[in-house]
Amino acid sequence: MSQQPAPQGIAPGTVLEAWTPAWTLNGRLLKPAMVVVAGDAGRQG
């Protein structure tokens, strides 16, 4: 997972981009997706 500042009008925590899809089998998660998530633009650290 990666995080970048949220663009104007996008809520923090929103998935901006998916690098790889999640893998599931019979409704069970085998491998989570690798994603870029919008962060709080005013917060650093």
Instruction: Dump pLDDT digits (tens) for 14-27.
Output: 999 999 999 999 99
In a domain, 7, yes or no: yes
Residue 4 in tokens:
């970048």
> Residue 37: is it exposed, middle or buried by C-beta count within 10 angstroms (0-12/13-18/19+)?
middle
- Number of domains forming the structure of the chain: 1
Backbone dihedral region of 20: left (phi > 0), alpha (psi from -120 to 50 degrees) or beta? beta
Residue 18 is part of which domain span? 2-39
Query: Does pTM top 0.85 for this prediction?
Result: no
pLDDT of residue 20: 95
In a domain, 13, yes or no: yes
Question: Which stretch of 6-10, 19-23, 30-34, 40-44 has the lowest confidence by average pLDDT?
Answer: 40-44
In a domain, 44, yes or no: no
